[in-house]
Amino acid sequence: MSKKHSVLFICLGNICRSPIAEAVFLRLLKEKKQEQNWDVDSAAMGDWHLGLGPNERTVVTLKKFGITDYKHIVRQIKPQDFERFDYIFGMDHQNMSDLEGIKPKNCHAKTVLLGEYDPQKELIIVDPYFGNDMKDFDKVYEQCCRCCEGFFNAVTGS
């Protein structure tokens, strides 16, 4: 039995981008019949929404694209995550800077921008929270689909 892979998706509040990425990646794993080989989670950099669910627009977006079974409670990243996970993905440069600021020396996790796996080379996944257009959430969803597929293929050699 090979070692489980593990991935943590991070964004500012864990109510928009990182839950979308987590839900997309979980669906991808289910489609590829690989759920048992992965440990997947998401978390916030900040503590504003702890204990709550995803933003309503996140839920609407996921349902629009057929993800109806996603359950999520906001949590904040903790030091143990840097040992538990192989990869910790940020969505933008601020996330990456924040991660580097709390990352323990010689930790196990590799911190990476999720957009580095986008075949269309859109490096940054912009926070849709402050926008008032659902198209911003659709764009996050589409970017996460491309990035998660690219990451999965890179790790598994698919």
Instruction: Please state the pTM of the whole predicted model.
Output: 0.96
Rounded Cα gap, residues 108 and 11, in angstroms: 20
The DSSP result for 4-45, as a single string, is: PEEEEEEESSSSSHHHHHHHHHHHHHHHTT-GGGEEEEEEES
Percent of the chain clearing pLDDT 90 (strictly above): 96
pLDDT of residue 2: 60
pLDDT bin (cut points 50, 70, 90) of residue 132 is confident
Residue pair 29/40 in contact by the 8 Å Cβ criterion: yes
| Amino acid of residue 2 | S
Q: Considering the chain, what percentage of its residues have pLDDT values greater than 70?
A: 99
What range does the domain containing 62 cover? Answer: 5-156
pLDDT of 3 = 78
What CATH number does residue 121 fall under?
Answer: 3.40.50.2300
Active site residues: 11, 17, 127
pLDDT digits (tens, 9 = 90+) for 84-104: 999 999 999 999 999 999 999
Query: In total, how many domains does the chain have?
Result: 1
